């Protein structure tokens, strides 16, 4: 027991900090510029020159040592006899944001390194600072500007930025990024996962210009202990020559404002009267324009205000019980097999959630792009947000734990002001420790839960758990991790991986915890347009019957407070090769990869309409 506690402390206070570490003396700390949407930003999206480099010859020499004359130098021959074996100017283009797998047929299954290069001009005014921000790069990104290494970021789904104030030129800047999406045993996620390993600069790349002192981060939410107040903080990023700068926060729609002075660290607390703020709900997703002014810096955001809590086995939104009528979503485009990258993609996907009668979406199994969260705010869709601590990762590896902590912190930092986000999830389908009371997996996940609570006390913590049978018809949810969660998630596939469909008619559910349950996954595959009897696997009719029996079973669970069946849309997966049926797609979607509804879509829609009517 003493050893268990000591290991937990070691994990929580590992030397790797929450912010991304760097490599090399020339690199600078990587962090994110929060809310690039509300700042003066210049897009670097568009066509980038690229070089496919499966052997990493652009980074290592033939002795596998870092090459000082790698591709990041972007060298040109100085004479007719000088040998340079690459040329960005003559290399093919890829769109950014976007994954490389869907843009070229020869890259569909490619995992490895691709070099990206973009030229730009930028005349930076005096006394201003400039940052380059990447919304996401899967999986490891090394960045150089004009031959100087800026740093490295690991994790494919969270944003990161580097300051380039002293390196940027008025013209002729070379921005080069080495992106490597090879799977690793020590990574997060690890080598084995059930979605396509889309590589590349999959999200926006922007130049963000700021004054010498600017608003680095901020938070403003209803106080969960006193919803008469909206509380938060502002943190200034300060250069060495700045002094304390007053910060003013305004909500023009209510006539409210508050001016505060940061402390020596650049942080100032906020407290505003919330009596004039309408509560954000899925039915009325009210957002307020918020302005934050600090000296020469002005940030604008749109924020909704609501509370989320639990009471026994019920989830409370703004103090009232709510049933989460949801669906799981992978970050794939609505009408194509590619990474979803735009606000339009997000609005279509969430529009399908609303068409189902849903008020909730589980964004699996990693942080989705920021446009999705902002669209959810606007459209009134509650969100379960997750990091890719998925299946079996290296629970005893401190570097893996530090990586997971960084990804969790970067997700929370980016999305902490999104009213739609009500659940932070720390894991999916992780196998419980062999020891009854827990072991390295439980210590690892407890550390993440503690981090999430410390970083954001206004939301609920969950994880998608596995269950166990205590007899042939009774399922028990008693994963020791459940002690530390606010809401229990559970994935079950009765009728698909777990027995025949009619097994659902005999199952009784039990829980060791007086906590709400969200059935975070259930479902089965069907190829859209394939028809047959309800007892014929892979058909729409089989999937339809599965959903009918699942709904009947779920009605009998007294502590059920929501569900997010697997999944909204068919998505690519290398684990699914069956010719003529799967063709490297997970076919559990209620909608095909081309946007066609399957019969089970209507089963879920009718059930959600019934649940909504019962509420009213």
How far apart CA 436 and CA 315 sit, in angstroms, is 29
Residue 187 phi/psi, 5-degree rounding, is -90, 175
- Strands, sheet with 308-311, edge to edge from the N-terminal-most edge strand: 308-311, 314-317, 320-321
pLDDT digits (tens, 9 = 90+) for 575-605: 999 999 999 999 999 999 999 999 999 999 9
Angle between helices 540-555 and 599-615 (to 10 degrees): 20
Report yes or no: 388 and 426 within 8 Å, Cβ to Cβ.
no
Query: Residue 6 has what pLDDT?
Result: 35
143: β partners = 151, 177
Banded pLDDT at 7 (limits 50, 70, 90) = very low
CA distances from 60 to 23, 64, 69, 152 (A): 15, 5, 9, 16
Query: Residue 238 has what pLDDT?
Result: 75
Greatest CA separation for the chain? 80
CA distances from 62 to 51, 55, 526 (A): 18, 10, 49
Rounded (10°) CA dihedral 377, 382, 386, 390: -140
How far apart CA 180 and CA 193 sit, in angstroms, is 17
Q: If you average pLDDT over every residue of the chain, what do you get?
A: 93
Average pLDDT over residues 303-315: 97
Report yes or no: 386 and 364 within 8 Å, Cβ to Cβ.
yes
Query: Residue 476 has what pLDDT?
Result: 98
How far apart CA 235 and CA 218 sit, in angstroms, is 6
Residue 16 in this model has a pLDDT that exceeds 50: no
Residue 4 in this model has a pLDDT that exceeds 80: no
Residue in the structure block whose two tokens are 């964004």:
363
Average pLDDT over residues 106-125: 98
Token output for 340:
């979803």
Classified as helix, coil or strand, 96 is strand
Query: Residue 37 has what pLDDT?
Result: 82
Query: Residue 14 has what pLDDT?
Result: 34
Residue 282 in this model has a pLDDT that exceeds 80: yes
Average pLDDT over residues 527-543: 97
Angle between helices 2-12 and 440-455 (to 10 degrees): 50
Residue 539 in this model has a pLDDT that exceeds 90: yes
Residue 23 in this model has a pLDDT that exceeds 60: no
Query: Residue 28 has what pLDDT?
Result: 55
Banded pLDDT at 243 (limits 50, 70, 90) = low
Share of residues in the chain with pLDDT > 90 (%): 90
Per mean pLDDT, which range of 15-24, 43-52, 127-136, 498-507 is the poorest? 15-24
pLDDT digits (tens, 9 = 90+) for 168-211: 999 999 999 999 999 999 999 999 999 999 999 999 999 999 99
Query: Residue 252 has what pLDDT?
Result: 94
Token output for 116:
């990206």
Report yes or no: 361 and 376 within 8 Å, Cβ to Cβ.
yes
Report yes or no: 369 and 135 within 8 Å, Cβ to Cβ.
yes
Average pLDDT over residues 318-343: 97
How far apart CA 249 and CA 260 sit, in angstroms, is 8
Residue 13 in this model has a pLDDT that exceeds 70: no
Rounded (10°) CA dihedral 412, 416, 418, 424: 50
Average pLDDT over residues 335-341: 95
Length of the chain in residues, anyone?
616
How far apart CA 235 and CA 416 sit, in angstroms, is 14
How far apart CA 34 and CA 412 sit, in angstroms, is 11
Residue 25 in this model has a pLDDT that exceeds 50: no
Query: Residue 398 has what pLDDT?
Result: 98
Could you tell me the pTM of the whole model?
0.93
How far apart CA 547 and CA 142 sit, in angstroms, is 45
Cis peptide before 593 (omega within 30 of 0): no
Token output for 326:
């949801």
How far apart CA 564 and CA 195 sit, in angstroms, is 18
pLDDT digits (tens, 9 = 90+) for 46-92: 999 999 999 999 999 999 999 999 999 999 999 999 999 999 999 99
The DSSP H or E segment spanning 541 is helix 540-555
pLDDT digits (tens, 9 = 90+) for 410-461: 999 999 999 999 999 999 999 999 988 899 999 999 999 999 999 999 999 9
Strands (E), 224-287: 226-237, 247-251, 256-260, 267-273
Query: Residue 409 has what pLDDT?
Result: 97
CA distances from 353 to 144, 346, 587, 602 (A): 41, 11, 18, 12
Banded pLDDT at 240 (limits 50, 70, 90) = low
Query: Residue 2 has what pLDDT?
Result: 37
Report yes or no: 516 and 561 within 8 Å, Cβ to Cβ.
yes
Residue 21 in this model has a pLDDT that exceeds 70: no
Question: Does residue 216 or residue 25 have the better pLDDT?
Answer: 216
Residue 567 in this model has a pLDDT that exceeds 80: yes
The DSSP H or E segment spanning 47 is strand 46-53
Query: Residue 265 has what pLDDT?
Result: 86
Q: Rg of the Cα trace of the chain?
A: 25
Question: Does residue 19 or residue 195 have the better pLDDT?
Answer: 195
Banded pLDDT at 616 (limits 50, 70, 90) = low
DSSP letters of 142-196? EEEETTEEEEEEE-SSS-EEEE-TTT--SS-EEEEEEEE----TTSSS-S--SS-
Query: Residue 264 has what pLDDT?
Result: 85
Share of residues in the chain with pLDDT > 70 (%): 94
Per mean pLDDT, which range of 1-10, 61-70, 116-125, 390-399 is the poorest? 1-10
How far apart CA 248 and CA 257 sit, in angstroms, is 7
DSSP letters of 302-368? EE----EEEETTEEEETTEE--EEEEEE-SB-TTSSSB--SHHHHHHHHHHHHHTT-SEEEE-SSPP
Token output for 453:
């609570």
Calculate ∠ Cα 367-373-379, nearest 5°: 145
Residue 373 in this model has a pLDDT that exceeds 90: yes
Report yes or no: 477 and 490 within 8 Å, Cβ to Cβ.
yes
């Amino acid at each position: 027991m003493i050893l268990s506690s000591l290991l937990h402390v070691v994990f929580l206070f590992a030397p790797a900090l929450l912010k991304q570490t760097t490599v090399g003396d020339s690199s600078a700390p990587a962090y994110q510029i929060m809310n690039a949407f509300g700042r003066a930003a210049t897009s670097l999206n568009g066509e980038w020159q690229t070089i496919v480099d499966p052997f990493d010859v652009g980074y290592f020499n033939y002795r596998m040592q870092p090459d000082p004359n790698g591709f990041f130098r972007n060298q040109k021959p100085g004479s007719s006899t000088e040998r340079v074996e690459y040329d960005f100017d003559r290399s093919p283009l890829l769109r950014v944001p976007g994954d490389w797998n869907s843009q070229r047929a020869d890259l569909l299954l490619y995992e490895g390194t691709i070099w990206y290069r973009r030229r730009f001009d930028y005349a930076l005014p005096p006394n201003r600072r400039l940052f380059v921000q990447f919304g996401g790069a899967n999986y490891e990104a090394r960045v150089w500007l004009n031959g100087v290494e800026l740093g490295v970021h690991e994790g494919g789904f969270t944003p990161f930025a580097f300051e380039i104030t002293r390196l940027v030129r008025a013209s002729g800047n070379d921005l080069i990024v080495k992106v490597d999406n090879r799977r690793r045993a020590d990574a997060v996620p690890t080598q084995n996962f059930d979605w396509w390993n889309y590589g590349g600069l999959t999200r926006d790349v922007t130049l963000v210009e700021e004054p010498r002192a600017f608003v680095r981060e901020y938070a403003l939410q209803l106080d969960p202990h006193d919803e008469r107040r909206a509380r938060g903080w502002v943190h200034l990023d300060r250069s060495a020559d700045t002094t304390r700068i007053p910060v003013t926060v305004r909500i023009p729609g209510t006539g409210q404002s508050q001016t505060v002075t940061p402390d020596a660290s650049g942080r100032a607390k906020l407290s505003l009267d919330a009596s004039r703020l309408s509560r954000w709900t899925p039915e009325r997703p009210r957002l307020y324009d918020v302005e934050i002014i600090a000296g020469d810096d002005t940030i604008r955001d749109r924020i909704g205000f609501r509370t989320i809590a639990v009471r026994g086995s019920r989830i409370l939104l703004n103090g009232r019980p709510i049933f989460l009528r949801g669906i799981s979503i992978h970050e794939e485009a609505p009408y194509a097999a590619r990474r979803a990258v735009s606000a339009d993609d997000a609005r279509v996907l969430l529009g399908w959630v609303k068409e189902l009668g849903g008020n909730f979406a589980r964004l699996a199994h990693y942080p989705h792009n920021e446009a999705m969260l902002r669209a959810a705010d606007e459209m009134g869709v509650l969100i379960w947000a997750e990091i890719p601590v998925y299946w079996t990762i290296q629970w005893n590896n401190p570097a893996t734990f530090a990586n997971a902590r960084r990804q969790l912190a970067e997700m929370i930092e980016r999305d902490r002001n999104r009213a739609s986000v009500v659940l932070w999830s720390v894991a999916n389908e992780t196998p419980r420790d062999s020891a009854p009371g827990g072991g390295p997996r439980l210590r690892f996940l407890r550390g993440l839960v503690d981090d999430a609570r410390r970083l954001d006390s206004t939301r609920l913590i969950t994880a998608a758990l596995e269950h166990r049978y205590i007899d042939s018809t009774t399922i028990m949810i008693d994963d020791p991790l459940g002690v530390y969660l606010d809401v229990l998630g559970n994935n079950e596939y009765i009728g698909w991986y777990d027995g025949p469909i009619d097994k659902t008619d005999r199952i009784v559910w039990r829980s060791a915890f007086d906590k709400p349950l969200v059935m975070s996954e259930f479902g089965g595959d069907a190829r859209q347009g394939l028809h047959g009897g309800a007892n014929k696997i892979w058909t729409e009719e089989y999937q339809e019957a599965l959903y009918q029996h699942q709904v009947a079973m779920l009605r009998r669970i007294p502590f059920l407070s929501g569900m997010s069946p697997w999944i909204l849309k068919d998505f690519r997966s290398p684990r699914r090769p069956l010719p003529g049926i799967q063709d490297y797609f997970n076919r559990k979607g209620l909608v095909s990869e081309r946007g066609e509804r399957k019969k089970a879509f209507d089963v879920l829609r009718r059930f959600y309409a019934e649940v909504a009517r019962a509420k009213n």
